[in-house]
Amino acid sequence: MLSLLAFPATGQRVSAEMNCTFTGTDFVYDCVIRLTPATPGVQISVGADMPSMPMAHNIRPVKAKPGKRPGEYHATLDLDMTGEWAVKLRLSGALRDLLVLHYEFTESGTAPRK
Amino acid sequence: MDEYALGVLTNIGLFSFVALSAYLLLLAGELSFGQQAFFGVGAYGAGIATAMLGLSLPLAILIAMLLGALAAALVGLPTLRLRGLYFAMATLAAAEMFRILFELLHWQVLVEGEPVGPDGTQGFRGIRWIFERGVEAEGFLAMVWTLLAAVLLLFFLVERSKLGATIRALGEDPALVGALGIDVDRFKLGIAAAAGALAALGGALFAHHNTYIEPRNFDIMLGVHSLAYALIGGLGTALGPLLGVVFDLGFLEASRVLQEYRMIVFGGLVALLLAWRPRGMLDERVVHWLKARFS
């Protein structure tokens, strides 16, 4: 699992990590995102781009839904293909930030970038 | 406008800069597979300027364009002596050299206690000038398209001038242009530098849009796309590359129902289109016809 540290505009340090499982439908993944520290009132928009083909894939961003645990969110990503994707988390509401996470999306789920 | 539409329109704008860069060289008769290198130079240059040196974005864009022009001139010095396929292969090799240089580039400084800057294959995070100033997606889109409109206006002015006529003549018959007393090599070098600056402008905007760049962003795929957009859209007007980008991204987005086969279908359509119209949809003949019809 890969995590990323970033500096939000508020000055609070946020880290995010994500874990996805393949749904069985081509290139559709159920993802769990965890923000640390857990901050209530944060909305997350999840987008994705392929580093090797920048700008060529326009994945429709989805709003992540808050999960049961604090700081946990769920989102379903509908990608174009397997391979490495840069997942963009746009945080708004109580925290404003933009995080970029890199994962290898396979036919079983996600793995950290090699 | 929703986030998806904003993203598509921003990507069309960003892609157009590098497509126009390839178009400018095509007008001068040169087929470059290497414009992604200068897009990358612009991205890294502007990212370093704002994120590491604390400069403003306008100044960073100027620096990026200068670096892009310089890099393109350095590549052009040895490669513009080549012709046709040899020039195309040389630009591709040069672009790969730049990508490998980006992979070898490790230079980080501490910003608020955290390292920021190029970290080889791990990329360059924290290019947050736009984000930290609260520029939202709509504002950034407006910035990209305003700059693109300015570039297109410049193209229209140049294409109506003696300079534009000389560039097109160079693409048709360099020996004839040389016979008119113009230093063809120096002239082409200037065009290559201008094309490099244009690609770098797009790269600078791309880096600040993404907040993160890595060497793989600037590999052959981007070069092939940019050249294809210029050829698909047409060589009759600077609107051609823009049309090529809109056609490509528009078709790919509209054909999502074809799922993974859409790339194959699109590739076949491009091949058919170029067999039917080798100088693109808006080629010189169509542009002359449109001018005669509407002027």
Q: How many domains does chain B have?
A: 1
Let me know if residue B150 belongs to a domain: yes
Q: Which residues of A touch B226 (CB under 8 A)?
A: none
> How many angstroms separate the CA atoms of B21 and B43, rounded?
15
Let me know if residue B233 belongs to a domain: no
What pLDDT score was predicted for residue B269? 83
| Model pLDDT for residues B12-51, shown as the tens digit of each residue | 999 999 999 999 999 999 999 999 999 999 999 999 999 9
Let me know if residue B44 belongs to a domain: yes
What pLDDT score was predicted for residue B286? 94
What pLDDT score was predicted for residue B58? 97
What pLDDT score was predicted for residue B26? 95
Whole domain around residue B137: which residue ranges?
3-219
The answer, for A107 touching chain B at a CB cutoff of 8 Å, is: no
Sites in chain B below the pLDDT cut of 50: none
Let me know if residue B43 belongs to a domain: yes
> How many angstroms separate the CA atoms of A12 and A7, rounded?
6
Q: Which residues of A touch B205 (CB under 8 A)?
A: none
Grade residue A11 by pLDDT with cuts at 50, 70 and 90. Answer: low
User: To the nearest whole percent, how much of chain A has pLDDT over 90?
Assistant: 57
Q: CA of A11: which chain B residue's CA is closest? A: B112
The answer, for A70 touching chain B at a CB cutoff of 8 Å, is: no
What pLDDT score was predicted for residue A9? 45
Residue B7 tokens read as 């993203």
- Architecture field, domain A3-106: Sandwich (2.60)
| Model pLDDT for residues B211-232, shown as the tens digit of each residue | 999 999 999 989 998 999 999 9
In sequence order, what DSSP letters do the residues of A45-108 get, joined into one string? Answer: EEEEE-TTSTTT--PPPEEPEE-SSTTEEEEEEE-SSSEEEEEEEEEEET--EEEEEEEEE-SS
B-interface mutation test, from A53, A55, A87, most B Cβ less than 10 A away: A55
Let me know if residue B126 belongs to a domain: yes
Averaged pLDDT for residues A98-103:
92
Q: CA of A5: which chain B residue's CA is closest? A: B114
Let me know if residue B115 belongs to a domain: yes
What pLDDT score was predicted for residue A114? 67
Let me know if residue B243 belongs to a domain: no
Q: Which residues of B touch A7 (CB under 8 A)?
A: 112, 114, 126, 128
| Model pLDDT for residues A38-73, shown as the tens digit of each residue | 988 999 999 999 998 888 888 899 999 999 999 999
Let me know if residue B254 belongs to a domain: no
